[in-house]
Structure 1
Amino acid sequence: MSTAPRRLHPALAFGHDLVAVLVFCAVGRASHQEEATFAGYLMTVWPFALALAVATAIVLATRRLRPETFAAGGIVWIVTVALGMILRAVSGQGTALPFVIVATITLAVFFSVWRLVILIARRAQARRADQV
């Protein structure tokens, strides 16, 4: 019986990252007292969601990276922030430096947290397996 951790399904990894993007956008809109409309929310979300889809495709194309690793998370983070900002700029949305800084830091934390939880859980599982 193998004790190697199972690879997280890419759709589940994408889902975790998408939730992070959705929360980031919702909190950002709320913190700026943006109008609470679905259309307004979608306008904020779409550049980052599309960028996240591209980032996930890049990670999956490598076939060497497990989507739940910090290496994959780093790629997802950089591509999502960079491409998300480019898409915001070309669609006439703001890309002020303070926003770029906040987005960069917040998405780094959000994309890392769930990966850290998986890492801790896997290490605990490995310790239990070693004790058997």
Structure 2
Amino acid sequence: MSPRRIPTLAFAADVIAVVVFAAVGRISHDEAESLSGLLATAAPFLIGLVAAWATPLVRAHPVGFRAGAVVLAGTAVLGLLLRAAFTVQLPPLVFVVITVVSLAVLLIGWRALSLLVSHRADQRAVR
């Protein structure tokens, strides 16, 4: 794979992770299945994701754990703040915890899996 494609694929993986997070949240709360509802739920977190991706660290090394931490922080913090501003109420603490843990599993999880697969491929190439 061309190294130039890695940031594009990493960004796409992050967008998919945030949309999956929003979809699972909507399903778990028995909210209507509509594209507009999904986009409305995901929008604050996608804005946070884009802001996190604007940082040089994430753009330079998008698959690393540091980038994952920056993406997680930007997505969760900005997403929660924007969501609170849109709904004009602070979310309950349990929602904040579930949001951060879920996004961590999704945004850092694919990076960990990617690094593991890459490491295994490197080991096989040495043999």
Pairwise TM-score range, normalised by the shorter structure: 0.7 to 0.9
- Cα 1:43/1:93, change in 2 over 3 Å: farther
> Shift of the alpha carbon at 1:8?
5.6
Pairwise CA distance, 1:64? 7.9
Distance 1:112 1:121 in 2: 14
- Listed as ranges, the gaps of 5+ residues in structure 2 are none
Counterparts of residues 59-98 of structure 1 (less than 5 Å): 61-62=56-57, 65-92=60-87, 95-98=91-94
Structure with greater Cα Rg: 1
Give the C-alpha shift of residue 80 in structure 1.
0.5
> What does residue 122 of structure 2 align with?
126
User: Where does the alignment leave 5 or more consecutive residues of structure 1 unmatched?
Assistant: none
Name the count of aligned residue pairs: 125
Residue of structure 2 in register with 1:34 after alignment = 31
Task: Check the 8 A contact 1:73/1:111 in 2, yes or no.
Answer: yes
- Seen in structure 2, the aligned counterparts of structure 1 residues 7 and 23 have a Cα distance that, compared at 3 Å, is same
Q: Distance in 1 between matches of 2:45 and 2:86?
A: 12
- The percentage of aligned residue pairs carrying the same residue is 38
Give the drift of 1:49. Answer: 0.7
Which structure carries more helix by proportion?
2
Instruction: Tell me, yes or no, if the aligned pair for 2:58 and 2:70 is still in contact at 8 Å.
Output: no
Contact 1:7 / 1:66 at 8 angstroms: preserved in 2? no
Q: CA deviation at 1:38?
A: 2.3
**1:117 and 2:113 aligned:** yes
Deviations 1:75-102 (A, max 9, x none): 0001110000111011116622111110
Q: Is the 8 A contact 2:23 2:38 kept in 1?
A: yes
Q: CA deviation at 1:9?
A: 2.1
The residue number in structure 1 matching 2:12 is 15
AA aligned opposite 1:36 = E
CA contact (8 A) 2:72 2:104 kept: yes
User: For the aligned residues, what is the CA RMSD?
Assistant: 2.0
Deviates further, 121-130 or 72-81: 121-130
What amino acid is aligned across from residue 98 of structure 1 in structure 2? V
| Secondary structure in 1 matching 2:54 | helix
CA contact (8 A) 2:19 2:42 kept: yes
